[in-house]
């Protein structure tokens, strides 16, 4: 049967196991508006009185043309009925699509309501408040003879959750390609969809605080969501929203270059999914043209760039690294850098102990979460006291002072008193943010093997790190002499710390006396400190512990 509105793109046909459905009668290209339709019946938004609701709906049905009435009555209902009023209600409950106006919250559309569900839907439904119509757009190319499908589920979760929701609300078992994947692939897809959902929760919780006080961490979430959408092959409203969020965070932090690109990408997805005349495409188009129009523009100046600062000529993966502010993966043979915020995060960037922060954790094949990589919090002891337990005030790389409480079995007395000194630096593996009942958030330390105190200030440690980066790194067999700065292949290393290299005796003396190696050598002799530099922080097999070199062995 051809479309009742004379739309040449599809026809209403019997679809085995699903009743009727819309089927493409010619190839429909991605982004095509498949239909744009006004409701024949609208459901009042604020009518709570069921009697009045029934009357309003009956009046609308009585006013339908014969053709519309036939169409309405032929729609599927999953509810049994004993009289006409119940029959109408059953059809409405099975078929209503959302409308977003002050007066009405949903409605019946002669054609759009005939579209069946698939969890890997090839089309997107949406209410367009500018045209006051329900629209359906192709999310990908749809072949002639292929059924047009939308999703009935607002948040797409794992297969089990989807199955339960569809059974309960629409009384059918979904056998779409996504639900029919072999077990292993289905589990992979479940993991991705659940992770996207979990990230939505984390992002909601962070709210504007995430945009301003920990923008990089929040941006990582959107980055991860986009990667997951791409892996899943979904280009829908969720992906568009992730780009909108990324644009907002960039622009709020004055990064106009990235803000514009994210907004452009959002517009492109909104256009495909909802059309160029949708409010979403129009509003984000305005931001893409002039990102400084965004209301939160410049609330922080942290990432300031101008609109034309985007690099040109980069390989696509390098461009994405730039766009998402990803830290470059280390070149093999390079040393870990203690200034890397991904590996040595400040307190604000640590995972919250009550969340499964996807930047730090991933689900393993056993279904449990495990760290994606190792990380280590560094903080300098500003003060400490022992009342019931050892407690410290420590200052992180951002200068933020936070409490550290020892909840180890020995309540901190396992530490040698000489190690616990103001001005020394505490390193805590896999640290997480803890909300204490009695004071501001900090770190609750439980496992004695996760902590180490280095006898130097955080500033000194970072300066030493810079030296190590310069003088310990080998590139193509070449190192730099710590004494004179000359680069050569045949240098001799300091036999005490094995970390710095010299042309010969004279350079070693110069390094020792004039360039501070006399004191640095003492610190670098500590194998745990050296391990901080050589550990492969990005490769997680098992948890590491102090002493680090023993873990490695």
Ligand X SMILES: C[S@@+](CC[C@H](N)C(=O)[O-])C[C@H]1O[C@@H](n2cnc3c(N)ncnc32)[C@H](O)[C@@H]1O
State the sign of the Cα–Cα–Cα–Cα dihedral 418, 424, 427, 428. Answer: positive
- Contact between 19 and ligand X by CB under 6 A: the answer reads yes
For ligand X, give the closer residue by CB, 170 or 500.
170
Cβ-closest position to ligand X = 19
- Phi first, then psi: what are they for 106, rounded to 5°? -175, 170
Sole binder of ligand X in the list 2, 67, 78, 143 (CB under 6 A): 78
- Measure CA 223 to chain center: 5
- Contact between 174 and ligand X by CB under 6 A: the answer reads yes
Q: Which residues contact 361 (CB under 8 A, 6 or more apart)?
A: 351, 369, 370, 371, 372
For ligand X, give the closer residue by CB, 171 or 209.
171
Rounded-to-integer distance, Cα 74 and Cα 410, Å: 74
- Phi first, then psi: what are they for 2, rounded to 5°? -70, 165
What the block records as the tokens of 34 is 């498949």
Rounded-to-integer distance, Cα 373 and Cα 336, Å: 13
Tell me how far, at minimum, the Cβ of 86 lies from ligand X, in Å.
Answer: 17
- Contact between 172 and ligand X by CB under 6 A: the answer reads yes
- Rounded to 10 degrees, the C-alpha dihedral 372/190/136/271 comes to 10
- Contact between 94 and ligand X by CB under 6 A: the answer reads yes
Sole binder of ligand X in the list 10, 72, 170, 375 (CB under 6 A): 170
Tell me how far, at minimum, the Cβ of 159 lies from ligand X, in Å.
Answer: 14
- Contact between 17 and ligand X by CB under 6 A: the answer reads yes
For ligand X, give the closer residue by CB, 151 or 508.
151
- Contact between 21 and ligand X by CB under 6 A: the answer reads yes
- Contact between 116 and ligand X by CB under 6 A: the answer reads yes
Rounded-to-integer distance, Cα 486 and Cα 484, Å: 6
For ligand X, give the closer residue by CB, 18 or 525.
18
Rounded-to-integer distance, Cα 531 and Cα 549, Å: 6
Tell me how far, at minimum, the Cβ of 224 lies from ligand X, in Å.
Answer: 30
**Comparing C-alpha atoms, which of 378, 323, 369, 370 is closest to residue 349?**
378
Contact 112, 127 (CB under 8 A): no
For ligand X, give the closer residue by CB, 171 or 318.
171
- Contact between 75 and ligand X by CB under 6 A: the answer reads yes
Tell me how far, at minimum, the Cβ of 365 lies from ligand X, in Å.
Answer: 30
Find the part of the chain contacting ligand X (CB under 6 A) among 115-123, 250-258, 297-305, 472-480: 115-123
Sole binder of ligand X in the list 3, 7, 20, 362 (CB under 6 A): 20
- Rounded to 10 degrees, the C-alpha dihedral 424/430/433/434 comes to -100
Sole binder of ligand X in the list 76, 157, 326, 341 (CB under 6 A): 76
Please give the angle made by the CA atoms of 396, 397 and 403, to the nearest 5 degrees.
5
Interacting residues toward ligand X by CB under 6 A: 17-21, 75-76, 78, 94-95, 113-114, 116-118, 170-172, 174, 176
């Amino acid at each position: 049967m051809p479309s009742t509105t004379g739309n040449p793109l599809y026809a209403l046909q019997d679809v085995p196991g699903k009743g009727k459905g819309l089927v493409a009668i010619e190839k429909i290209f991605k982004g095509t508006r498949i239909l744009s339709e006004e409701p024949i019946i609208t459901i009042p938004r604020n009518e709570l009185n069921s009697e009045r609701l029934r009357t309003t709906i009956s009046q609308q049905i009585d006013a339908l043309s014969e053709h519309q009435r036939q169409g309405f009555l032929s729609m599927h209902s999953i509810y049994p009925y004993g009289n006409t009023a119940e029959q109408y209600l059953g059809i409405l409950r099975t078929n209503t699509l959302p409308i977003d106006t002050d007066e009405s919250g949903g409605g019946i559309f002669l054609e759009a309501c005939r579209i069946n569900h698939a969890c890997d839907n090839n089309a997107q439904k949406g209410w367009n408040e500018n045209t006051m119509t329900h629209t359906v757009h192709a999310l990908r190319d749809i072949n002639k003879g292929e059924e047009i499908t939308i999703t009935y589920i607002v948040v797409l979760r794992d297969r089990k959750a989807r199955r339960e929701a569809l059974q309960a609300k629409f009384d059918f078992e979904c056998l779409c390609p996504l639900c029919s994947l072999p077990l292993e692939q289905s589990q992979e897809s479940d993991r991705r969809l659940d992770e996207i959902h979990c990230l939505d929760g984390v992002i909601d919780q962070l709210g504007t605080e995430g945009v301003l006080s920990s923008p990089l961490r929040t941006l990582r979430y959107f980055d991860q969501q986009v990667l997951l959408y791409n892996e899943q092959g979904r280009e829908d409203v969720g992906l568009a929203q992730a780009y909108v969020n990324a644009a907002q965070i960039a622009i709020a932090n004055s990064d106009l270059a990235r803000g514009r690109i994210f907004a452009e990408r959002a517009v492109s997805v909104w256009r495909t999914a909802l059309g160029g005349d949708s409010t979403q495409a129009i509003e984000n188009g305005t931001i893409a043209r002039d990102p400084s129009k965004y209301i939160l523009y410049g609330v922080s100046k942290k990432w300031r760039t101008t609109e034309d600062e985007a690099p040109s000529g980069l390989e696509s993966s390098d461009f994405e690294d730039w766009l998402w502010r990803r830290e470059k993966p280390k070149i093999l043979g390079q040393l870990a850098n203690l200034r890397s915020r991904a590996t040595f995060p400040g307190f604000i960037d640590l995972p919250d102990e009550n969340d499964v922060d996807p930047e730090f954790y991933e689900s393993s094949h056993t279904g449990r979460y495990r760290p994606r990589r190792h990380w280590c919090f560094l903080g300098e002891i500003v003060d400490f006291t022992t009342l019931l337990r050892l407690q410290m005030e420590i200052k992180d790389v951002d200068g933020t002072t936070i409490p550290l409480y020892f909840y180890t079995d020995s309540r901190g007395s396992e530490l040698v008193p000489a190690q616990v000194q103001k001005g020394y630096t505490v390193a805590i593996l896999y640290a997480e943010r803890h909300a204490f009942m009695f004071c501001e958030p900090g770190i609750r330390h439980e496992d004695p093997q996760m902590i180490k105190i280095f006898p130097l200030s955080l500033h000194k440690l970072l300066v030493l790190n810079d030296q190590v980066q310069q003088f310990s790194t080998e590139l193509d067999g070449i190192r730099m002499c710590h004494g004179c700065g000359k680069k050569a292949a045949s240098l001799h290393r300091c036999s005490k710390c094995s970390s710095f290299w010299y042309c010969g005796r004279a350079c070693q003396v110069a390094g020792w006396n004039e360039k501070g190696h006399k004191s640095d050598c003492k610190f670098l002799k500590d194998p745990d400190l050296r391990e901080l530099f050589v550990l492969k922080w990005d490769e997680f097999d098992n948890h590491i512990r102090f002493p680090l070199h023993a873990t490695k062995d």
